[in-house]
Amino acid sequence: MNNSHVRRATNEDQKIARRQAILDGARQLFVEADYFDVSMAIIAKRSGLAKGTVYLYFKTKEEIFLSLSTEELENWLSAFETRLREQVRPLENTEFVDILRDTFMGRHLMQRLVSLLHLVLEKNITYEEAFAFKLNLKTRMNRLSKLVEQVLPFLAEGQGFSLLSMLHCLVVGSGQMSDPSPVLKQVLEHPEMEPFRVDLEKDIFDTFSFLLEGMKSVSENQSC
């Protein structure tokens, strides 16, 4: 496949680029197949490196997928945060959900990775890695929570974080269903299966809209 020798990553930038190349290879493969079918061997092959080289950049397969998840998650968090920062005034629930929907567009991979996180963090991960991941996530979520509480004034303090947690939960839950295996896809094409065929991305946002509406409604009733 590649007779030509791989150009060596000599400086820090090149090393970062190489690391990125591995992540990108893994990402591609994960788009095409499921987690278990993405072996270290094919990640190496895809990124044009030897197996051992991949291990220079990532200690384990889990570390690759944790990094990938972090990357995709941060990407989305940034996009969402940016969109929220553009808002100077309180938002209607529908406006909020529209923004959310926008930022979710084309982030199917992120959804799948987030659904996978549990599995990945279950095995072969050190305390330090898990801790770093979670801490980073907390920091990002805290910042975002503040913003959310600003644009949705009916939220009490702390409810921003809760809302994001619920969202996370919804993403995981719907993420599992939104990428069926080939066999399942076939099953869902059967006319009898129509009720299960609903667009699950749509479902997340419908659910989330109701959720917001409910929180708002409860908050208004409490203030009476």
Footprint on this chain of a second copy (rule: CB under 8 A): 1-2, 11-12, 34, 36, 115, 117-119, 121-123, 125-127, 130-131, 134-135, 138, 141-142, 161-162, 165-166, 168-174, 176-177, 180-181, 183-184, 186-188, 190, 192-193, 195-196, 198, 203-204, 206-207, 209-218
Among 31, 59, 82, 136, binds DNA (CB under 7 A): 59
Query: Judged by CB, which is closer to DNA: 57, or 96?
Result: 57
Smallest gap from residue 88 Cβ to a second copy (A): 26
Binding mask 34-53 for DNA (x = CB under 7 A): --xx-xxx------xxxxxx
Query: Judged by CB, which is closer to a second copy: 36, or 86?
Result: 36
Residue pair 82/136 in contact by the 8 Å Cβ criterion: no
Query: Judged by CB, which is closer to DNA: 54, or 212?
Result: 54
Q: 18 touches which of DNA, a second copy, none (CB within 5 to 8 A by kind)?
A: DNA
Q: Mention every residue, 6+ apart, whose C-beta is less than 8 A from residue 194.
A: none
Binding mask 109-138 for DNA (x = CB under 7 A): ---------------x--------------
Q: Pick from 114, 126, 140: which is nearest to 63 by CA? A: 126
Q: Pick from 171, 205, 217: which is nearest to 96 by CA? A: 205
Smallest gap from residue 9 Cβ to a second copy (A): 12
Residues lying near DNA in the complex (CB under 7 A) are found at 2, 5-10, 15, 18, 36-37, 39-41, 48-53, 55-57, 59-62, 124
